[in-house]
Amino acid sequence: MNATDAADTDLNLNIELIEIDVLKPSKTNARKVFSKEGIAQLAANIKQHGVLQPILVRVHPNDADCFEIIAGERRYRASKKAKLNTIPCRIIESGDVDSLEKQASENLFREDLNPIEEAYTWLNLLEETGLTQQKLATRYKTSQAHIANRIRLLKLPEEWQQKLVDGEIPPTFARDLVPWAKYPQVFEALPDTIEEIRNNYAEGYVLGPMDFREALEEALHAVTVSVHEANFSVTDDLKKELQVEEFRNAWGAPIERAFNTDLFHELQEKAKAEQKQFMESSGSGSKSTRKNGSLFNDDDEDGIQPVEREVQDTRSPEDVQADIDHAERQAAKKRKEQLGRKYADWKCAWYQQKISEQLDHRKPSDGFLFKLLLFYSITMDNGVNDFRGEHLRSSVKTWGGKIKGERYRLRANSWEGLGSVQSSSKDLAATTLAQYILIPIGHNAFDHSQIGEIAKELAIDIETEWELTEDFLQLHTKPQLLELSKEWKFPQDGLEDLKRGELIDRILEMESQLRLEFEKGEDKKQEPASCPKALAKTKLPQFV
């Protein structure tokens, strides 16, 4: 029977054998993937028992001599494979929207419908019926959130949609990928991070949702840069240009990272260059003024802004001198405050290094190690876990434990790694904490004052253990360097004429020579440089 003959009958009740050649699959059917094995099995069954359930068709809207399959395309394909000439069909009158809804009803409740096919089914229904997601959810007995999540999958690159169809990635992971669909670099990095995590397991291991999420986080870190590393001011407008996104790591801590890494590095280099220029000009004693639009946000060294217009001065000479003296005192006070802040940071870093050395040599008691470990354990949700995770992984590897991935961001991974270590727990604690303690303040679990308290408990004394280094001298301007050389009673001949960099080299040369002579006992009158009084008195601030 062909479509023209069927048109003269009661189409809603008509079940006829129709030539298979005049049946056409519907273009609106979202189901595109049919298992070859499943079709072959159904074809074998049809050869033995025939088509037990007629397929649903209508007269083709664009070709009256053919029929469009509304429901039953799988049976149609199997019948063709079984080489049938005709197939039983139920012919109905149906408009486009009604046909689409009947296709959806058949497809949506099949277990083998893949997520992408389901997504297209929901999308077609929304576009053709005009119904909202909520009304569709009510009609098809599902949730609005489920419909929305499925449709979002269509934002993924086609390659990753196919991975989902092929079962290479689970739907939950595909949903995690959707927010990053606009960043192709993430998807370029993902295969490598997934493969890296897969290599940590025995052959045949099936990666779980948490493994895929770890791979995604690794990929995000590989193609972005942390905004917190910026040496320039990151405004809201600049965040848009840098393509800054916030996401939460596996510990739940919020992280801001920039996807426009080229612009970030360009601004970073510019900021460093301006900072270097500022430091050089400050060190040479010249007045530093800020350029318009400068990314390096720091005050002029002496706090005095140049005046470009002439104003008649009615002050007496005494008042003028008093104002000059006041300005100089204010500038000196400001320079002293700036140096105090630098001293606090340097002193804290120095303490951290000394504490790390003691930890590494197992000097602290078991009770002290326990206190440090306990403190770190209760601060693991502060958003600074990437640093500690890397150090923990390194320590576990050192002591023969199991490592997983490049970072420990998952609590389960951390526990699994620690649980695989067979060495002394005190040794592992000490080596790990020796690395943790060196994490810069701001990312560390401790603040400045707490580092000072640890140093005090370990009897670390900066006044007796301090030694002169170049990085310490770099904290100072030229006038401050001259003051230090006087405090140490170094020879002053020619020092005033040197540039700041030359002055630092000269001080280091004198210190090296004096220390050598002092250790040999050749000159007991002139001692090497001792800890500056201002540094010894510097208090480490506490940040709440």
d(CA 503, CA 432): 40
Neighbours of 521 (CB within 10 A): 7
| DSSP secondary structure string for all residues of 53-69 | SPEEEEE-TT-TTSEEE
In the annotation, is 522 catalytic? no
Name the DSSP class of 373: H
CB-based contact 384:440 (threshold 8 Å): no
- Judged on CB neighbours under 10 Å (0-12, 13-18, 19+), 27 is exposed
CA dihedral 510, 516, 518, 523 (to 10 degrees): -70
Radius of gyration of the chain (CA): 37
Residue 216 has phi, psi (to 5 degrees) of: -65, -45
CB-based contact 501:281 (threshold 8 Å): no
Token digits for 71? 């429901």
Phi-psi region of 459 (alpha: psi -120 to 50; beta: other; left: phi over 0): left
CA neighbours closer than 13 Å in the CB half-sphere of residue 74: 21
Amino acid identity, position 544: V
CB-based contact 299:335 (threshold 8 Å): no
DSSP reduced 3-state for 349: helix
d(CA 435, CA 355): 10
CB-based contact 214:225 (threshold 8 Å): no
Question: Taking Cα atoms as reference points, which of 364, 369, 394, 375 lies closest to residue 445?
Answer: 375
d(CA 15, CA 304): 96
Token digits for 63? 């070709």
Token digits for 31? 């189901």
Catalytic one of 16, 73, 217, 511: 73
Helix (H) or strand (E) holding 471: helix 470-473
CB-based contact 128:57 (threshold 8 Å): no
Give Dmax (Cα) for the chain: 124
Question: Taking Cα atoms as reference points, which of 426, 455, 474 lies closest to residue 536?
Answer: 455
d(CA 89, CA 536): 95
Catalytic residues: 73
